[in-house]
Structure 1
Amino acid sequence: MPSGTIRDFHGFKANEDAEALRKAMKGLGTDEDTIMKILTARSNAQRQQIKVSFKTQFGRDMVDDLKSELTGKLEKAIVALMIPSSQYDAYELRHALKGAGTDETVLTEILASRSQAEITHIKKVYREEYQCELEDSITGDTSGYFQRMLVVLVQANRDPDYKVNDVLVEQDAEVLFKAGELKWGTDEEKFITILGTRSVAHLRKVFDKYMTLSGYQIEESIGRETSGNLQRLLLAMVKCVRSVPGYLAEALYNAIKGAGTDDSTLIRIMVSRSEIDLLEIRKEYRKNFGKSLLQAIKGDTSGDYRNTLLLICGGDDE
């Protein structure tokens, strides 16, 4: 059951929306309010229809017009809303891999939190858009165990959820215990194989068993036994096994807190999860950080950009 904040708009008419948006962008000055209100109240599928209607009626590319009328963070958020979801993930991964430095945070967040079906679709879109394989881009731009864990994730070959074998649960928990806490140095490969290939339901049981065996939460052991990008990726994976909305709520919290907001992360999560589980993310945010996501956004952003995020957020949980 999707628990997004944005759904199909009832009584949707692509032509009327296209006309209203053209009017909002035509002539002197831009009517940002109309742009925000229409685009945050339509599903992504409906926005694609508006885009087609816009071109049909006016012979203009709506996204190009939006880019020329808007600036800064508002432009980034609105343009993100106009990209189909798998294409948006592919685009973010491409930009995280291409250019001067690699943005490991983006790779970790997207590949740890997406389902097998989503990753399969992202790979297909990536191939079509950039004429190369996502895996090749990853191996060309990352290294070591971090790279190997990403490559395993990109295979999207996790066991199906109905496969939970209690004997294997016990074995996996022991293997992880021996590979980490009981070993001088860490056998990273065991962590990579088990965390990357077992089903979510299976791994939840493994984590419980691990706690019984070792007296530690698996997160504590990963924190002690690994470091750097690999550690961050393994921890993200464990958090996503426990709860994807919980993991993304924490990512939003980290993007908002502190000096300066990480707007790229804020926009990416708000937009990419708006039709999937943003209501769940809001719930987790409220539960874990003692304030609502809406209040956090209000306190940390401003202007039309803030209003756009608030509309996507879709309500308060105070």
Structure 2
Amino acid sequence: MATIKGVSSFSAEQEAHALRKAMKGLGTDEDAIIEILTKLNVSQRQQVLITYKSSIGRDLIDDLKSELSGNFERVIIGMMTPTTMYDVHELRRAVKGAGTDEGCLIEILASRTNEEIRRINENYKCHRTSESKRCHQQDCQQPQGLEFHPETESGLGTDDNTLIRVMVSRSEIDMLHIRREFLTMYGKSLYSFIKGDCSGDYRKVLLRLCGGED
């Protein structure tokens, strides 16, 4: 059911250095970043994240943010975020601001297992306590770390928010089923929809997460 399954022969150090090479010097090799990260599953990406810091001495998230932009950056950072924390971030975004993104709340809470909901709840509470303390200490500055760019929370591009969230969160679970349901409901493949409505490196990474045209 998944389109992203990870690789059996895996070296976190090798992939970490390949990512650094893709971002080092003049210009960024976006195709190399896409190739590396879309072949790994979320657990392997987390190993690369840790190894990148220990082996290269740099923060991979910071490097990716400095080299990428727009929706391409958002989907890549989403892929680099632990599954539960990604859900927590999306739930917090959904209830933040003037209106509530009820579609996001329903989508996440209705599709996660009881154990996943328990982990989300624990991390959501923890994240709110730690953020509240940080805001008090730092005069409510934007939290650092695995936070997304402000444009994610601007209220604009809701379709992109949903598309990115579904592609990132379901590519290792039931993307093949989603593709079949999409085709049945809309008479058009998800692959062709992405190909026609997205562009550039953003489109490339979504097509890899989608896994195929059928």
Normalization by structure 1: what TM-score?
A: 0.57
Distance 1:15 1:271 in 2: 23
- Specify which of 16, 19, 25 is matched with residue 17 of structure 2: 19
Distance 1:288 1:267, change over 3 A: same
For residue 43 of structure 2, what is the aligned residue in structure 1?
45
Letter in 1 for 2:16: A
For residue 243 of structure 1, what is the aligned residue in structure 2?
none
Distance 1:9 1:54 in 2: 18
For residue 290 of structure 1, what is the aligned residue in structure 2?
187
> Following TM superposition, by how much is the alpha carbon of 1:128 offset from its aligned partner in structure 2, in angstroms?
2.4
> Following TM superposition, by how much is the alpha carbon of 1:125 offset from its aligned partner in structure 2, in angstroms?
1.6
> Following TM superposition, by how much is the alpha carbon of 1:261 offset from its aligned partner in structure 2, in angstroms?
7.3
- The question of whether the paired residues in 2 share the 8 Å contact of 1:24 and 1:34 is answered with yes
For residue 77 of structure 1, what is the aligned residue in structure 2?
75
User: Which structure 2 segments of 5+ residues have no match?
Assistant: 131-156
User: Which structure 1 segments of 5+ residues have no match?
Assistant: 133-259
Alignment of 1:53-132 (within 5 A): 53-131=51-129
> Following TM superposition, by how much is the alpha carbon of 1:8 offset from its aligned partner in structure 2, in angstroms?
2.1
Distance 1:309 1:114 in 2: 22
Distance 1:261 1:104 in 2: 12
RMSD of equivalent CA atoms: 1.5
Q: How many residues align?
A: 188
Distance 1:310 1:60 in 2: 29
Query: What are the superposed Cα offsets for residues 160-208 of structure 1, whole Å, 9 maximum, x if unpaired?
Result: xxxxxxxxxxxxxxxxxxxxxxxxxxxxxxxxxxxxxxxxxxxxxxxxx
For residue 166 of structure 2, what is the aligned residue in structure 1?
269
- Specify the SS of the correspondent of 2:184: helix
Letter in 2 for 1:305: Y
Alignment of 1:188-203 (within 5 A): none
> Following TM superposition, by how much is the alpha carbon of 1:54 offset from its aligned partner in structure 2, in angstroms?
0.4
- Specify the SS of the correspondent of 2:27: coil
- The question of whether the paired residues in 2 share the 8 Å contact of 1:261 and 1:300 is answered with no
- Specify the SS of the correspondent of 2:172: coil
Distance 2:104 2:54 in 1: 36
Distance 2:34 2:158 in 1: 21
Distance 1:38 1:282 in 2: 23
For residue 7 of structure 2, what is the aligned residue in structure 1?
9
- Specify the SS of the correspondent of 2:39: coil
> Following TM superposition, by how much is the alpha carbon of 1:45 offset from its aligned partner in structure 2, in angstroms?
0.2
1:311 aligns with 2:190: no
For residue 144 of structure 2, what is the aligned residue in structure 1?
none
Distance 2:117 2:45 in 1: 23
- Specify the SS of the correspondent of 1:10: coil
Letter in 2 for 1:59: G
Query: What are the superposed Cα offsets for residues 10-38 of structure 1, whole Å, 9 maximum, x if unpaired?
Result: 21111010000001111111110000111
For residue 151 of structure 2, what is the aligned residue in structure 1?
none
> Following TM superposition, by how much is the alpha carbon of 1:110 offset from its aligned partner in structure 2, in angstroms?
1.3
> Following TM superposition, by how much is the alpha carbon of 1:311 offset from its aligned partner in structure 2, in angstroms?
0.5
> Following TM superposition, by how much is the alpha carbon of 1:300 offset from its aligned partner in structure 2, in angstroms?
0.5
Normalization by structure 2: what TM-score?
A: 0.84
Distance 1:84 1:25 in 2: 22
> Following TM superposition, by how much is the alpha carbon of 1:295 offset from its aligned partner in structure 2, in angstroms?
0.7
Query: What are the superposed Cα offsets for residues 29-80 of structure 1, whole Å, 9 maximum, x if unpaired?
Result: 1110000111011000000000011001111110111011000000000000
Distance 1:128 1:45 in 2: 22
